Amino acid sequence: MRSHPLREQIIAEVHARPFQMLQAPLAMLHLAVVYDDTPLEELRQHIYRLSDTLKLTNTINKSRFWQGENEQLALRFEAHHEFYTLTLTALNRLELPQLPQPWLSTAPGSLLCGAEILFRTYHHEQDENAWPEQHFGENQVNSSMVMSEVGQIWTDFYPRPDSGMVRVLVEDRGLQLRQAGRLLQRICEIETYRHVALLALPLANKVVPDINRLETELAELSTRVASEDPSVLLHRLMDLAEQLEALSAQTSNRFSAAEAYFTLVNKRIAELRETRIEGRQTVEQFMDRRLDPATRTCRAAGQRIEQLSRRLARTTQLVRSQVDLSVEQQNRDMLTSLSKRAGEQLRLQAKLESFSIIVVTYYAFDLIDRTLRNLVENEEHRHLMEAGLSISVPFIALLLWLYIRRLLHGVGED
């Protein structure tokens, strides 16, 4: 038994992104960056330069995942299909780390979103409202107990005016090290996936007028199937099919990716295992209210394109059926005309049959007469035979007629 060639790759993928073991206090800066066609190897070289600048020691080095750390900082790099993430963590302090500005100015890709996470330990003497008020002011704050009530989070989901990133406060109320790592990573993933999913929303809003126009044109053509020339309708339908196919090619990948990312967002929220705090809105409730309309818009746009494609196919099939019926009608008329001409030819042949019998009888009589003249020398006997031959002319004609009828038997029926 030999090992499957993809076995090691599959195993490595399962363990490619391990959870960190984290302990409060710490501050985390998380960025999600769209590739912009940057090759992965070039991107990794930028990460290596950042690691050298921050004086990090490499701990995990995979093709699409890299992690390094020292006593004060930890850096994680994850490459996804259309974006990559950088997570820089300041250990043992609540001061947010900063990426070096020279490195940021040359970093590849386009910044999509970011999150600032502050993670502290809960103390009884602390004022629970003072910390959120310090960071969020008068903004509406979403808060809940998470991970079976061993942690608490606060966020307003508003980008901060100074950094443009969403800030999340997390409090440790009994989290284990790996449990804390999972919690913070899920918060980062929620923020990342919801933004990547929303990349489909501007596209959905852009194509909706085109979808409306195509639906209107198709409805108009559908009402003219029975009255207009099928060839003209087919030409119009082919034009609509071309436009719809271009629209589908433009949107299908983005809408499919959005659906997958929306699903991941819901899954990560469910994994938080939130418990509602009286007077506060949970993350799940916020997403249901703010993200669900965008989800439905993108999903509806994709479904309308698919439904329009099916309707167009049905209308095209209906017109093609009408064309096929018209062709069959023309073929039937042509066959009827050919059959009529064949019948006329047979009737003409039957009329000419009597003339052909007369001609053949004449030539047969002449041939026999000449033969008798050459074979019978006695003139009296020859006259008697010629008289008998003359009397037999009707019988010769009758035999020839029967023979010709036998040859033509069944031709008329065919």
Range of the domain at 280: 200-331
Whether residue 260 is found in the same domain as residue 361: no
Whether residue 170 is found in the same domain as residue 237: no
Supply the DSSP string of 242-279, one letter for each residue.
HHHHHHHHHHHHHHHHHHHHHHHHHHHHHHH--EEPTT
Residue 334, CB half-sphere, CA atoms under 13 Å: how many? Answer: 6
- 123 pLDDT above the threshold of 80: yes
- Please indicate, yes or no, if residue 6 is contained in any of the structural domains: no
Say whether 96 sits in a helix, a strand or coil. coil
- Please indicate, yes or no, if residue 250 is contained in any of the structural domains: yes
Span 94-112, average pLDDT = 92
- 280 pLDDT above the threshold of 80: yes
Environment class of 284 (CB within 10 Å of its CB; exposed 0-12, middle 13-18, buried 19+): middle
Q: In whole angstroms, give the CA distance from residue 36 to residue 31.
A: 15
Whether residue 113 is found in the same domain as residue 241: no
Whether residue 386 is found in the same domain as residue 322: no
pLDDT of residue 139: 87
Whether residue 121 is found in the same domain as residue 167: yes
Whether residue 324 is found in the same domain as residue 350: no
Q: Which residue has the tokens 């919801």?
A: 194
pLDDT of residue 325: 72
Could you tell me the strand order of the sheet in which 275-276 lies? 57-61, 65-69, 73-79, 83-91, 26-34, 110-121, 166-172, 151-159, 142-146, 275-276
Q: Which residue has the higher pLDDT, 353 or 27?
A: 27
Q: Are 270 and 283 in contact (CB under 8 A)?
A: no
- Please indicate, yes or no, if residue 229 is contained in any of the structural domains: yes
pLDDT of residue 11: 62
pLDDT of residue 84: 94
Structural domain tally of the chain? 3
- The one-letter code for the residue type at 13 is E
**Among the listed ranges 32-36, 270-274, 301-305, 314-318, which one has the minimum average pLDDT value?**
314-318
- 82 pLDDT above the threshold of 80: yes
Q: Are 277 and 141 in contact (CB under 8 A)?
A: no
Q: Are 53 and 100 in contact (CB under 8 A)?
A: yes
pLDDT, tens digit, 9 for 90 and up, residues 337-378: 888 887 777 777 766 666 677 777 777 777 777 777 777 767
The β-bridge relationship of strands 142-146 and 110-121 is unpaired
Q: In whole angstroms, give the CA distance from residue 139 to residue 160.
A: 11
pLDDT of residue 353: 65
Residue 178 host element (H or E)? helix 177-197
pLDDT, tens digit, 9 for 90 and up, residues 289-336: 888 899 999 999 999 999 999 998 888 887 777 777 777 787 888 888
- 411 pLDDT above the threshold of 70: no
Say whether 173 sits in a helix, a strand or coil. coil
Q: Which two tokens stand for residue 410?
A: 């069944």
Whether residue 116 is found in the same domain as residue 39: yes
Span 30-59, average pLDDT = 92
pLDDT grade, residue 125 (50/70/90)? confident
- 8 pLDDT above the threshold of 70: no
pLDDT of residue 319: 78
Q: Give the mean pLDDT of the chain.
A: 86
Whether residue 169 is found in the same domain as residue 28: yes
- Please indicate, yes or no, if residue 340 is contained in any of the structural domains: no
Whether residue 308 is found in the same domain as residue 208: yes
pLDDT grade, residue 15 (50/70/90)? low
Q: In whole angstroms, give the CA distance from residue 156 to residue 136.
A: 7
Q: Identify the domain boundary among 131, 160, 176.
A: 176
Interior CA angle at 33 toward 29 and 39, to 5°? 130
- Please indicate, yes or no, if residue 3 is contained in any of the structural domains: no
CATH number of the domain at 271, please. Answer: 1.20.58
Q: For residue 357, which of 395, 385, 389 has the smallest C-alpha distance?
A: 395
- 407 pLDDT above the threshold of 80: no
pLDDT of residue 378: 72
- Please indicate, yes or no, if residue 259 is contained in any of the structural domains: yes
Whether residue 293 is found in the same domain as residue 360: no
Q: In whole angstroms, give the CA distance from residue 184 to residue 178.
A: 10
Whether residue 141 is found in the same domain as residue 282: no
- Please indicate, yes or no, if residue 307 is contained in any of the structural domains: yes
Whether residue 69 is found in the same domain as residue 206: no
- Please indicate, yes or no, if residue 47 is contained in any of the structural domains: yes
pLDDT of residue 118: 96
Q: Which residue has the higher pLDDT, 152 or 19?
A: 152
Span 92-117, average pLDDT = 93
Q: Are 289 and 200 in contact (CB under 8 A)?
A: no
pLDDT, tens digit, 9 for 90 and up, residues 131-162: 999 999 888 899 999 998 999 999 999 999 88
Q: For residue 389, which of 377, 371, 414 has the smallest C-alpha distance?
A: 371
